[in-house]
Amino acid sequence: MASLKDLRNRIASVKATQKITKAMQMVAAAKLRRAQTAAEAARPYAERMDRVLANLASGMKDSPEAPRLLRGTGSDQKHLLLVATAERGLAGAFNSSIARLARQHAERLIAEGKDVTILPVGRKGADVLRRYFAKRLQPTIDLREVKQVGFANAEAIATTVLDKFEAGEFDVCTLFFSRFRSVILQIPTAQQIIPAQLPEGTSAPAVPYEFEPDEAEILADLLPKNVAIQIFRALLENAASEQGARMSAMDNATRNAGDMIKKLTMNYNRTRQAQITKELIEIISGAEAL
Amino acid sequence: MASFAFELVSPERLLLSEPATEVTVPGVEGEFTVMAQHAPFITVLKPGIVRIKLASGTEQAIYVRGGFAEVNPDGLTILADFALPAAELNGEAFARETAAFEAALGHAHSDEAKRRAQERLAWLNDLKASQSAAAH
């Protein structure tokens, strides 16, 4: 049986942990609000981009003049997986669930005999994937210094990806991130960004548009931008998901610590009483012996 | 005067969403002015100044780095890569813009993309020249 002193120490240490998890939960809640605002603010651009792209691309999809970013290279042998995770842990299953989805995808492709390379964005996902695919891993894109993801960060990643595409390093690029639904629900998602996927329900526009310069040239401008926008959207969703996941993980941790303190305190009081009883018995039996 | 819905959005946020009566847009094939009932139209933008006459009567001038303009039956939407009130367009801002375009030029793969990037840099210089001429 643990001594009273040990129990007292245990209780103090669990209380200290509870204070930390409580503080982390509150910080995550504040950051979540900011991340959500950023994600919402970015929505109008992405929506309008989708619309313009849909109008333009529906007629071009199968034409041989279509840019390679839309049409594809004609092969799907080489795959690049862009895996976006967080830079920090202690966010519940957030990082591991994205990494798991990417790993399953990679394993399926490898089983089909495809070439797979992985470009991790964020250290935590890279740590997990390195264990399985050390040889296929490219240097991690580090966002540790970045406090609030801006479009410039997404653009830099997009440039890296597009450089690789132009260099013929891959045919298909899939982006992995976590879609933010609510504080308790984040959905790990795989999205193909190269060749571009057209938004759902794309049909020829009701009104004929005029184009200046012609469609192909606008597309040549628009498609690389679309890659950056998709990455930007994923990073913002990820930021919100990370904070949401951390908030609920820390809320659970705080509650568990509370339960533990209750149990330990009960134990401590019982032990103390048992000791007092024992001492009394000793005194009484000592007095009787006299 | 008839007005139409005008929106200016950058990747990070919606910058302006107000009815306007007249908007002059720097398209790659020349500036054009959109008024109500303009025909549906999509174009690429060059770096330049968008001049907006709002239905409320105020006028605004905003620098855009490039992007797209879409005129649909409902109105005009400008998707700007980067936007800045034209009043804040000083030497420092020009230096930053030039650096951004030169970086883009460095990443151009095809001759076609290179030509476009160079064209953009030239437009920026034109704009810089016209701005400083206007200042004097």
How far off is chain A from B69, nearest CA to CA, in Å?
9
For residue A51, the chain B residues in CB contact (below 8 A) are 70
In chain A, what percentage of residues exceed pLDDT 90? Answer: 51
End-to-end CA distance of chain A: 32
Please tell me whether the peptide bond between B40 and the residue prior to it is cis, using omega within 30 degrees of 0. Answer: no
User: Can you say how many angstroms the Cα of residue A17 is from the centroid of all Cα atoms in its chain?
Assistant: 25
Whether chain A has a CB inside 8 Å of the CB on B12: the answer is: yes
Whether A49 sits inside 8 A of B10 (CB atoms) is no
Whether B29 sits inside 8 A of A159 (CB atoms) is no
Average pLDDT over residues A250-254: 95
- pTM of the shown model: 0.85
pLDDT per residue as tens digits for the range A159-207: 889 989 988 889 999 999 999 988 889 999 999 988 887 766 555 555 6
Predicted pLDDT at A267: 94
Task: Give whole-number Cα distances, A43 to A203, A231, A241, B75, in Å.
Answer: 22, 13, 16, 19
Q: Which of A64-68, A210-214, A250-254 has the lowest mean pLDDT?
A: A64-68
Average pLDDT over residues B31-43: 87
For residue A49, the chain B residues in CB contact (below 8 A) are 79
Q: Tell me the CB-side half-sphere exposure of residue A3, using CA atoms within 13 A.
A: 2
Distance, CA of A95 to CA of A89 (rounded, Å) = 7
Minimum CA–CA partner of B31 in chain A: A212
Please tell me whether the peptide bond between A64 and the residue prior to it is cis, using omega within 30 degrees of 0. Answer: no
The β-bridge partners of B5 are B19, B75
3-state DSSP call for residue B57?
A: coil
> What confidence category does residue B28 fall into, taking pLDDT thresholds of 50, 70 and 90?
confident
Predicted pLDDT at B65: 87
Comparing CA positions, the residue from A64, A99, A77 lying closest to residue A169 is A77
> Rg (Cα) of chain B, in Å, rounded?
15
3-state DSSP call for residue B28?
A: coil
pLDDT per residue as tens digits for the range A139-172: 888 888 777 888 888 988 998 899 899 888 899 9
Whether chain A has a CB inside 8 Å of the CB on B15: the answer is: no
CATH of domain B4-86: 2.60.15.10
pLDDT per residue as tens digits for the range A7-31: 999 999 999 999 999 999 999 999 9
> What confidence category does residue A285 fall into, taking pLDDT thresholds of 50, 70 and 90?
very high
**Nearest CB to B10 within list A45, A163, A209:** A45
Q: Which of A113-122, A147-156, B54-63, B120-129 has the lowest mean pLDDT?
A: B120-129
Distance, CA of B83 to CA of B14 (rounded, Å) = 11
Q: What is the DSSP letter of B87?
A: G
Amino acid (1-letter code) at residue B8: L
Q: Residue A63 pLDDT more than 70?
A: no
Average pLDDT over residues A224-246: 92
